[in-house]
Chains A and B, each alone.
Chain A
Amino acid sequence: MKLKASEHGSVLIIELKGKIMGGPDANMFRDTLKEHLDKGVKKVVVDLGKVDWMNSSGLGILIGGLTTVKNADGEMKLARVTEKIKSLLMITKLIQVFDSHETVETAIASFSE
């Protein structure tokens, strides 16, 4: 997995790329999230458009991230969820847990002020 973090105004955008299969991937995601939450970031968009696939460890990384952000009184949204990941979210019923958007821009625009 490759990860790129950038800030768009007050929104942290985490772009994930490749295959997300656990192991060191979880630490990379958690450390990036924690670093920005500690600086006061409350709005997070996870861009999945370049992810080939993820397994249940990848889903666990997203769930863990969502819980961490919520516990910091923030919001986390998904953007550009691929068909493969969407099917995994359906199988696991996690589709009802995440707020997913077609583009990063619509995800950013959906945050409450």
Chain B
Amino acid sequence: MKKIEKLVIPSDTDRLPEVDQFAEKMTGELDFSRDLRDDIAISVSEAVNNAILHGNKNDGSKNVTVEFHKLENGIQINISDEGGGFESNEVPDPTKPENIMETTGRGLLIIRHLMDRVDIEPYKNGTKVTMVKYYIKDNA
């Protein structure tokens, strides 16, 4: 795997399988267990889904960019959209009883559990989510 690999897709959730194939290829070249590869794949699908639905608001003219950066001790994945940005601390707690039956709103919670580091920041006209998974968590 080269140091950085990039995939750009339009805002269409039907393209998620393509993103998953890309993530499978990238992590397959690295020293991750099947379990950790699935954690990465789930997190990538969550972040891309959020970028399409909440960032770009399903606007097919706006793209989502997925970048895999190979690190010495793991992998960093950057996912950026071209939307208006959002405040992650404004997302309601999906585990509260009043929200538990909602069908959406769990993506960030899952990403934060499955990945070792997660940063969300404004980026150009949109939002960039940076996620890191280490081969061994003690490397964090």
> Which residues of A are at the interface with B, using a C-beta cutoff of 8 A?
19, 21-24, 52-57, 59-61, 63-64, 66-67, 84, 88, 91-94, 96-97
CA distance A88 to B35 in the complex (A): 13
**A-facing residues in B35-93 (Cβ within 8 Å):** 35, 38, 41-42, 45-46, 49
Say yes or no: B16 contacts A53, CB within 8 Å: no
Find the residue from B17, B35, B100, B103 having the highest chain A CB count within 10 A. B103
Q: Which B residues are CB-close (under 8 A) to A54?
A: 42
Further 15 A-B residue pairs, CB within 8 A, beyond A57-B45, A60-B102, A92-B110: A21-B17, A22-B49, A23-B17, A54-B42, A55-B42, A56-B46, A56-B104, A56-B106, A56-B107, A63-B101, A66-B101, A67-B103, A84-B38, A88-B42, A97-B100
| Chain B contacts with A in 1-49, Cβ cutoff 8 A | 13-14, 16-17, 20, 35, 38, 41-42, 45-46, 49
Residues of A within 8 Å of B104, CB to CB, are 56-57, 60
Are B14 and A24 within 8 A (Cβ)?
yes
Please give, as numbers and ranges, the residues of chain A lying within 8 Å of B126 by CB-CB distance.
Answer: none
Residue of A53, A57, A66, A91 near B109 (CB, 8 A) is A91
The residue from B20, B41, B102, B109 contacting A63, defined by CB atoms under 8 A apart? B102
Q: What is the bound-complex CA distance between A23 and B9, given in angstroms?
A: 14
Q: Shortest distance in angstroms between A109's beta carbon and chain B's nearest beta carbon?
A: 26
Q: Is B117 an interface residue (CB 8 A)?
A: no
B124 within 8 A of A: no
Instruction: Judge whether B94 and A92 touch: CB under 8 Å.
Output: yes
Q: Are A23 and B13 in contact (CB under 8 A)?
A: yes
Q: Which residue of B lies closest to A64 (CB)?
A: B103
With beta carbons under 8 angstroms apart, the residue of B13, B38, B100 that contacts A94 is B100
- The answer to whether A21 touches B45 (Cβ under 8 A) is yes
Nearest CB of chain B from residue A91's CB, rounded to whole Å: 5
In the bound complex, what is the Cα–Cα distance between A59 and B60 (angstroms)? 25
Of the candidates A23, A61, A63, which one forms a contact with B14 in the assembled complex, judged by CB atoms under 8 Å apart?
A: A23
